[in-house]
Amino acid sequence: MEIPNNRLLPDTANINGLGHLEIGGMDVVDLAKRYKTPIYLYDEMTIRNRMREFVSSLRETYSKSKVLFAGKAFLIKRIVKITEEEGLGLDVVSGGEIYAAKEAGFPMENVYFHGNNKTMEELSFAINTGVGSIVVDNLSELKFLSSLVKRRPVNILFRLTPGVDPHTHSYINTGRVDSKFGFQLDSDDLKEAIGIVKSDTFLNFTGLHCHIGSQIFDTGFFRMASEIMAKQTVEFTRKWDLPVKELDLGGGLGIAYKPEDDPPTPKEMAVAIADPVGEICNREGIELPLLILEPGRYIVGNAGITVYTVGAIKEIPGIRKYASVDGGMADNPRPMLYQAQYTAFLANKMREHPRDVFTIAGRFCESGDILIDKAYLPRLERGDILVVSATGAYNYSMSSNYNMVPRPAVIGVKDGKEDIWVEREDYNDLVRLHR
């Protein structure tokens, strides 16, 4: 039995004959019993479907294009391998992410290294491992990089701040003028950086980059940023004699976290971005650059769920009903950081209709450890298997050992089989590095 109008769960989500949630041909209740909870559960087919959708949408709109997976959303070795198999490049933001890519055997020439405060050690590591491109964020970093590159050229892009405010949460809004990221347009720092690049033979300027934020539903903001960056492409090519071979417009496409969410499609995002680039460059007689997009959340967000077991149930008459689960803010800090909202299901009671409202509380020693303020659920009992949907992006990446609790396992499912992508931590892992 299919789940009607499903937008929150993975593509392969079904309700089986027992009334249980099934993902990738696997009964989620059985997986919870076998691997214990909490677990992060990923549907490999959904990840691949989203990658293919993004690549084809951009290619159909703008043939001279490239898609990178924004690794910060969820970077483990298995995802790196899937990214390579699907023909995407990789966007990384730290030495650790570079190391994970290298250990997974990813072609390093197809890696782009971002970040507003890359250390000298990270930059050296990137150069020595053959990272394909470094996205320079500021003048200080450029000077750092210039002092390190003395043997062979390194490809660089400038990250610019286009001044576009997409009105998302302030913590995931990166395109405004007041941002820690990127060069301000027409700033003295940018002009000095241009001068350094033109005089340093080992800094190979290949293009421009921007990223205006995350969880964006209005493609008009993508179009605004694209117009600004296309004009910068003309200016760099004509005024500064620095042809823009690559134009990276970042990511930020939103996903559905709640039933009423209605995000745009990758095709709609691609059209909003590609059209201004083509129009402006063709009008000005500028060679079209390679257009790069960097989806992260869209690729893995709805491909992943987190599976919990319900524990204590507490009712405060006239106020609310609490249902506590065996995870919380350590495996999903986003509700506390961004006021992120999620949807819950009971994996063992998928045919039962919601009959009450619960506040889903975590197990951690913080009053603010609330995963969902209002969850509409069927009759709830201790031992029920509760699933929170759309937790595939930034949950594992941002997880912690708060209260000395081991991180959950990551399980991948596909075609009726499961595979352990990341082992569950144990108590020994918590103290292994202690002295």
Tell whether the model's pLDDT for residue 170 goes beyond 60.
no
The yes-or-no verdict on residue 174 having pLDDT over 50 is: no
User: How do residues 404-434 score in pLDDT, each as one tens digit?
Assistant: 999 999 999 999 999 999 999 999 999 999 9
In this predicted structure, the answer to whether residue 176 has a pLDDT above a threshold of 90 is no
Round to whole Å and give the CA distance between 119 and 115. Answer: 10
For 283-319, b/e burial (b = at least 16 CB within 10 A) is eeebebbebbbbbbbbbbbbbbbbbbbbeeeeeeeee
Alpha-carbon gap, residue 294 to 252, rounded angstroms: 8
Note the residue count of the chain: 435
Contact present, 92 and 133 (Cβ < 8 Å) = no
- pLDDT score of 2: 63
**Tens of pLDDT along 275-314?**
999 999 999 999 999 999 999 999 999 999 999 999 999 9
Average pLDDT over residues 177-185: 80
The mean pLDDT value for 220-247 works out to: 96
Q: Distance between CA atoms of 168 and 174, rounded to whole angstroms? A: 10
99: number of Cβ within 10 Å:
13
Q: What is the pLDDT of residues 334-385, one digit of tens each?
A: 999 989 999 999 999 999 999 999 999 999 999 999 999 999 999 999 999 9
Residue 216 has pLDDT above 60, yes or no: yes
Q: Distance from CA of residue 145 to its chain's centroid?
A: 27
Q: What percent of the chain has pLDDT over 70?
A: 96
Is residue 127's pLDDT more than 90? yes
Q: Given pLDDT bands bounded at 50, 70 and 90, which one contains residue 180? A: confident
Q: d(Cα 350, Cα 10) in Å, to the nearest integer?
A: 15
Q: What is the pLDDT of residue 420?
A: 98
**Catalytic machinery residues:** 365
Q: Please, what are the domains in the chain?
A: 14-36+303-431 (2.40.37.10), 45-300 (3.20.20.10)
pLDDT at site 4 = 59
At 98 the pLDDT is 98
